[in-house]
């Protein structure tokens, strides 16, 4: 005569399940349905997620295993099951004591995790890939989910258009800590300057799969340069004056080909005739996102020759610190884009006359 009731062979305390996984409870012997309900609770607030009658089609019994298929997939979180005495019996009719999950009893608590991976473009923490980063760009991420996880496909897109060929072989393995990396050598060669891309990674747990798309990243590998037409301009003589005089501020504005990002610009300047035209960060920002404004305070006795405005050696005459385009590319100056319009200087006693020949207007510097 069988008087020993069925018991659970294992608790689910540390079990991690996928959001769409069935719940499988193992017993010590073959079982059958009794009467009553199985109740799924959410641990965070003890609310009831679903109550399922033992004779419902969502519950099946095969030998010593009870399988529960919730109506809806369980969202990521921690849950527990309650089952009253008599809901399950063994084949002889001995009543299973039930699952209370009260106090220290966490007999059938479990966690669900969504199938997911982060995706990071290595070298693109600002959502741009610049010239110095393009040859080391890679993808990496950390996976989450239940079971044995693997990456089954990686694709790159420009908008809705596929870039190159989907990567389905030589895929990165998921390490024990859940991380993975797609090496630069495996990145598509078609990724080009001026384009914005996303990466789509398909992750599988062996039964189910999901595709996650990265944030968009723009390839900008071109350095900003001065515009080709009139990149440099000088400020006008103050109103009511016929000339600059000692104490006046001369502004020299440079317009670049791209929007600029100004960080700590200390010591940024243009040197003309040994005089430092110092970058004014605030004025530059106010003038426009492609402009750099350099300022110089006129001193008594100042004299500047025409050739001083031909900046033949930008590496020594122009200093730009921590100024880049939005992608991080530093400005580049070529000989034909550094020369200011020819300026002639005529010094007569206390007057210094500057003629801007190319623009047919003059600026006067006068000693007080």
Q: Please, where in the chain does CATH 2.60.40.1220 lie?
A: 16-113
Q: Does residue 14 register a pLDDT over 60?
A: no
59-62 sheet: strands from edge to edge: 23-26, 65-68, 59-62
Query: For the purposes of burial, counting CB atoms within 10 Å of the CB of 83, is it exposed (0-12), middle (13-18) or buried (19 or more)?
Result: buried
Q: Does residue 67 register a pLDDT over 50?
A: yes
DSSP codes of every residue in 189-234:
TT--TT-EEEEEEEEE-SS-EEEEEPPPEEE--PPP-B-SS--EEE
Q: What number is the average pLDDT over the span 326-336?
A: 83
**Residues listed for the chain:** 368
Distances in whole angstroms, Cα of residue 108 to Cα of each of 22, 55, 64, 70: 14, 20, 16, 15
Structure-token pair, residue 280: 């004014």
Work out the angle at residue 230's Cα, subtended by the Cα atoms of residues 131 and 357, and round it to the nearest 5 degrees: 145
For residues 106 and 12, give the distance between their C-alpha atoms in angstroms, rounded to a whole number: 8
Q: Does residue 335 register a pLDDT over 70?
A: no
- Per-residue pLDDT tens over the stretch 194-252: 999 999 999 998 878 899 999 999 999 999 999 888 888 888 778 887 777 888 888 88
Can you give the pLDDT at residue 70?
92
For residues 363 and 349, give the distance between their C-alpha atoms in angstroms, rounded to a whole number: 16
Give Cβ neighbours of residue 69 (< 8 Å, ≥ 6 apart).
Answer: 22, 23, 58, 59, 60
Can you give the pLDDT at residue 229?
85
Can you give the pLDDT at residue 16?
60
Work out the angle at residue 278's Cα, subtended by the Cα atoms of residues 288 and 298, and round it to the nearest 5 degrees: 110
Across 164-187, b (16+ Cβ under 10 Å) vs e yields eeebeeebbebeeeeebebeeeeb
Is there a contact between 268 and 283 (Cβ–Cβ < 8 Å)? Answer: no
Can you give the pLDDT at residue 288?
81
**What CATH topology corresponds to 16-113?**
Immunoglobulin-like (2.60.40)
- Per-residue pLDDT tens over the stretch 84-106: 999 999 999 999 999 887 655 56
Q: Which of 44-48, 152-156, 287-291 has the highest mean pLDDT?
A: 152-156
- Per-residue pLDDT tens over the stretch 351-366: 333 333 323 233 334 4
For residues 35 and 86, give the distance between their C-alpha atoms in angstroms, rounded to a whole number: 6
Structure-token pair, residue 73: 């997939």
Is there a contact between 192 and 137 (Cβ–Cβ < 8 Å)? Answer: no
Q: Give the pTM.
A: 0.67
Give Cβ neighbours of residue 25 (< 8 Å, ≥ 6 apart).
Answer: 8, 12, 65, 66, 67, 68, 81, 108
For residues 192 and 197, give the distance between their C-alpha atoms in angstroms, rounded to a whole number: 10
Q: What number is the average pLDDT over the span 44-68?
A: 94
Give Cβ neighbours of residue 246 (< 8 Å, ≥ 6 apart).
Answer: 298, 299, 300, 302, 367, 368
- Per-residue pLDDT tens over the stretch 112-130: 888 899 999 998 878 999 9
CATH number for the segment(s) 116-219: 2.60.40.1940
pLDDT band at 107 (very low <50, low <70, confident <90, very high): confident
Is there a contact between 286 and 295 (Cβ–Cβ < 8 Å)? Answer: no
Strand partners, 254: 232, 292
Is there a contact between 292 and 260 (Cβ–Cβ < 8 Å)? Answer: yes
Q: Please, where in the chain does CATH 2.60.40.1940 lie?
A: 116-219
DSSP 315: H
Can you give the pLDDT at residue 300?
84
């Amino acid at each position: 005569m069988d008087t020993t009731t069925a018991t659970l062979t294992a608790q689910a305390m540390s079990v991690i399940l996928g959001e769409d996984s069935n719940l499988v409870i193992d017993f010590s012997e073959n079982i059958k349905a009794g009467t009553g309900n199985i109740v799924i609770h959410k641990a965070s607030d003890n609310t009831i997620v679903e109550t399922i009658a033992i004779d419902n089609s969502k519950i099946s019994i095969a030998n010593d295993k009870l399988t529960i298929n919730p109506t809806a997939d369980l969202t990521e979180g921690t849950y527990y099951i309650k089952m009253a005495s008599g809901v399950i019996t063994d084949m002889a009719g001995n009543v299973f004591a039930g699952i209370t999950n009260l106090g220290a009893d966490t007999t059938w608590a479990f966690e669900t995790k969504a199938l997911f991976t982060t995706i990071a473009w290595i070298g693109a923490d600002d959502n741009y890939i610049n010239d110095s980063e393009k040859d080391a760009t890679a993808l990496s991420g950390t996976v989450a989910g239940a079971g044995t996880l693997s990456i089954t496909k990686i694709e790159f897109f420009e908008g809705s258009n596929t870039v190159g060929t989907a990567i389905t072989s030589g895929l990165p393995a998921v390490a024990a800590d859940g991380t993975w990396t797609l090496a630069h050598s495996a990145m598509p060669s078609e990724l080009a300057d001026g384009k914005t891309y996303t990466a789509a990674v398909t992750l599988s747990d062996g039964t189910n799969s999901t595709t996650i798309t990265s944030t968009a990243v723009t390839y900008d590998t071109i350095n900003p340069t001065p515009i080709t037409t009139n990149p440099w301009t000088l400020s006008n003589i103050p109103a009511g004056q016929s000339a600059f005089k000692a104490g006046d501020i001369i502004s020299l504005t440079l317009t670049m080909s791209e929007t600029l990002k100004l960080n700590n610009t200390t010591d940024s300047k243009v040197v003309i005739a040994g005089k430092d035209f110092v970058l004014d960060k605030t004025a530059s920002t106010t003038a426009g996102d492609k402009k750099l404004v350099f300022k110089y305070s006129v001193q008594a006795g100042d004299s500047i020759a025409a050739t001083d405005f031909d900046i033949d050696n930008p590496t020594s005459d122009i200093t730009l610190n921590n100024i880049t385009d939005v992608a991080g590319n530093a400005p580049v100056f070529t000989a034909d884009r550094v020369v200011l319009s020819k300026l002639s200087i005529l010094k007569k006693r206390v007057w210094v006359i500057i003629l801007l020949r190319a623009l047919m207007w003059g600026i006067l510097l006068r000693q007080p």
